[in-house]
Amino acid sequence: MQTRLRCLENVFFFSDLEQDIDSHHLYDALDTISEAFLNENQDFTFYRQQKTLWQRTQNITSLRGTKNPESPNVLAAWTLDKYKFIHIVEKTWALKPDLDWYLFLDADTYVVWPNMIHWLSTLDPNRKSYFGSEVSINDIAFAHGGSGIILSKALVYEIAVTRKGVAAQWDGRTKERCCGDLVLAEMMHFEEAWWDRTKMPLRHADVLKELWLRDMTERRENWDNLAADKGEFGKTGGVKKVAATFEEGDSYQGMNGWTEVSYKAIGIFSVQQSLRPVDQIDQLGYLQL
């Protein structure tokens, strides 16, 4: 909060214990899970111990390094993490509904905000969109939570309002999963078959030759990388208008499922996967963060 997040208005912190650190409030992401489920699931032994100790002493350092009783090689806190994802989406909407975009980050993830803001400004938040860095487990592709996940307003509304209570419905299934980012993606896939993946990834495809090879010269005179523009972000830099238009990326037209994402607006991101719009989810993409 003192560095890369200090300019943002709406920032919420979620953990597995509600507390205040300095001037920042941490919300308990798990406090709406039913008592019956908590008590019968050994994954939450650490969670219950932590809450009890905090209420007594306001100090939980003695629990550092606690292992999962069912998996002695796994930290108990890591096991809890997978239960948080869908609940955090629901809680974030409850705290701040109707924002255009929702970005979910781990504490060690860095975002170049001018690039992010300009890129998102080229997209429609009223379409159900889901972006992140692609990983796969058991043939299920999903956005890697540690790298950051972006959900549009329309998609968060679908999860938190239209499908209200879906997090509780998935608590039981989560126990058998490895990680929460997978659970989030699987939930979206399962509920209404929200996406259909294009079969051709862009990361290693020949389309790159059409996009960039023609501009890759050994030497270019008077190249303007826009670094001199003061931009709308004042001292922080940036450009004076949206950094790219659909026409600048029109080589994507005609490719199965590609939508208007411009390579100049993307900046630090490189396109890895595009997903075809279907009737339930409008726009998915995987970006290498």
* Structural domain harbouring 89: 11-213+263-269
Report residue 196: phi and psi, to 5°: -135, 125
Confidence (pLDDT) at 217: 72
Is residue 188 within 8 Å of residue 160, measured between CB atoms? no
How many domains does the chain contain in total?
Answer: 1
Residue 279, domain member (yes or no): no
- 226 located within any domain: no
**C-alpha span between 76 and 65 (Å, rounded):** 8
Q: What is the pLDDT along the chain (289 residues), one digit of tens a residue?
A: 677 787 788 999 999 999 998 888 999 999 999 999 999 999 999 999 999 999 999 888 898 999 988 888 889 889 999 999 999 999 999 999 999 999 999 888 888 888 899 999 999 999 999 998 888 888 888 888 988 999 999 999 999 999 999 999 999 999 888 999 999 998 887 544 444 444 344 444 455 566 666 676 777 777 766 666 555 444 444 433 333 333 333 333 333 333 333 222 222 322 233 332 323 445 555 443 3
pLDDT of 279 reads 34
- Using DSSP's 3-state secondary structure scheme, residue 113 falls into helix
Model pTM above 0.75: no
The answer to whether position 225 is within a domain reads no
**Is 252 inside any structural domain?**
no
Using N-to-C axis directions, what is the helix angle for 166-174 and 180-192, rounded to 10°? 120
Map tokens 């270019």 to a residue.
220
Q: Rounded to an integer, what distance in angstroms lies between the CA atom of residue 179 and that of residue 163? A: 21
Q: In the structure encoding, which two tokens stand for residue 36, read together?
A: 């019956």
In a domain, 132, yes or no: yes
Residue 174 domain-assigned? yes
Distance CA(154)–CA(98), nearest Å, equals: 9
pLDDT for the residue 236: 41
Smallest Cα–Cα separation from 130: which of 288, 287, 289? 287
Residue 257 lies in a domain: no
Per-residue pLDDT, 123: 93
| 221 is a domain residue | no
Spatial separation of the C-alpha atoms in residues 97 and 66, rounded to whole Å: 36
